[in-house]
Amino acid sequence: MNNVIAIIDYGVGNLYSVEKAFARLGAEAAVTSDPAAITAAAKVVLPGVGAFGDCMENLAAYGLTDVVRTVAAKGTPLLGICVGLQILFDGSEEDPGVPGLGIFPGLVRRLVAPGLKVPHMGWNSLAVAGESPLLRDLPANPYVYFVHSYHAVPDDPALVTAWTDYGGRVTAAVGRGNVQAVQFHPEKSGDTGLEILANFKELVL
């Protein structure tokens, strides 16, 4: 049986630190841009850093836009990280007019945090808002590492599985079924981040 976790390489993202984190957990992870390998993988990770529009442009240039949609539709566990979460939505205020993947309905909006710096960079605690296979068995209000200026605002608030307080409620994680995503960087979030990645590694639907 194929147990490979495919980490999608589309020219953006902190790919090799994610791969190393999974290796520490004893997972077989592979960084790849091969559509066949991604589609055949047991689980798939969609990383992302930088701007929403650049990520969507690169995904299209690598011929992977429909591959991600196919993976999500066929029930393969899919983990979005940082901008990899944001591009799951319909679009973003960062790049108006650039369509996202549309897997989740809603928009990505700029952080409104009066008196606080944007981008939001640093450690913040999570408040778990709903059932999430990624966040099970975590300690109460664990700290994770964020670097972002935008956050997802789903049409359905029940998609939000965790939030953090940064001048107000900020979406920290979303998910439904096989598609789960985090705004923070689990690969940079110490033991808590490793536990989240371990939960994804063990995810059975």
pLDDT above 70 covers a percentage of the chain that reads 99
CB count, 10 Å around CB of 28? 13
**Residue among 120, 148, 151, 185 flagged as catalytic:** 185
Active site residue 82: yes
Residues 6+ apart with CB under 8 A from 121: 146, 147
CATH architecture of 5-201: 3-Layer(aba) Sandwich (3.40)
pLDDT above 90 covers a percentage of the chain that reads 94
- E-strand ranges in 47-129 read 78-81, 91-92, 106-110, 120-125, 127-128
Residues 6+ apart with CB under 8 A from 130: 158, 160, 161
Q: Could you report the per-residue pLDDT of 76-116, keeping only the tens digit for each?
A: 999 999 999 999 999 999 999 999 999 999 999 999 999 99
Domain ranges of the chain: 5-201
Q: How confident is the model at residue 26 (pLDDT cuts 50, 70, 90)?
A: very high
What does pTM read for this prediction? 0.97
Q: What is the residue-averaged pLDDT of the chain?
A: 95
The whole-angstrom distance between residue 76's C-alpha and the CA centroid of its chain comes to 15
**Residue among 19, 148, 151, 187 flagged as catalytic:** 187
**Residue among 82, 94, 120, 195 flagged as catalytic:** 82
Q: Could you report the per-residue pLDDT of 132-167, keeping only the tens digit for each?
A: 999 999 999 999 999 999 999 999 999 999 999 999
Q: What gap in Å lies between CA 82 and CA 55, rounded to an integer? A: 11
3-class state of residue 120 by DSSP: strand
Active site residue 55: no
Determine the pLDDT at residue 1.
47
Closest CA to 129 of 84, 168, 172, 86: 172
